[in-house]
Amino acid sequence: MRAVESRTLMGAKREPERKRRTFPVRIRYVAALAICAWAFFYFWHAERPQLRQLAAENAKLERQLTSLQAQERALQTEKQQLNNPAYIEKYATEHQNLVMPNTVPFDLQSPSKSH
């Protein structure tokens, strides 16, 4: 009888041990879930607005870069034209009101409405 009783006592002792072993596992799952929930909340309310702001700033800088690249191409074209004597003469005549020697300058103006 003692052998039977000792087995039942040992069996009774092992059952609570199994519950103790599963209890920490459940705490791990709950802790992992809580950490994931906190991370999601933090991302949604802290990181996401910053990401949107950085994306908008990035788009603005991309547009500015495109504009500056177009301006650089225009300046390169003008730089090449400044090596051409015909372009320099045309620019001086149109923008600086300069004329070549032995040339008669004249300006055609439209009649004003005050006459």
Assigned domain for 52 exists: yes
Are 98 and 91 in contact by the 8 Å Cβ rule? The answer is no
Q: Is the pLDDT confidence value at 107 over 60?
A: yes
Rounded Cα distance, 12 and 6, in Å = 10
Assigned domain for 111 exists: no
Provide the domain count of the chain.
1
Percent of the chain that is helix, strand, coil (3-state, to 5): 80, 0, 20
Tell me, yes or no, if the pTM score tops 0.75: no
Q: Which comes out higher in pLDDT, residue 6 or 95? A: 95
Assigned domain for 22 exists: yes
Assigned domain for 109 exists: no
Residues spanned by the domain of 77:
2-95
Q: Is the pLDDT confidence value at 50 over 70?
A: yes
66-78 burial code (b ≥16 CB/10 A, e <16): eeeeeeeeeeeee
Average per-residue pLDDT in the chain? Answer: 81
Assigned domain for 110 exists: no
Assigned domain for 19 exists: yes
Assigned domain for 101 exists: no
Q: Is the pLDDT confidence value at 35 over 90?
A: yes
Are 81 and 87 in contact by the 8 Å Cβ rule? The answer is yes
Of 19-33, 44-58, 61-75, the range with the lowest mean pLDDT is 19-33
Assigned domain for 107 exists: no
pLDDT category of residue 113 using cuts at 50, 70 and 90? low
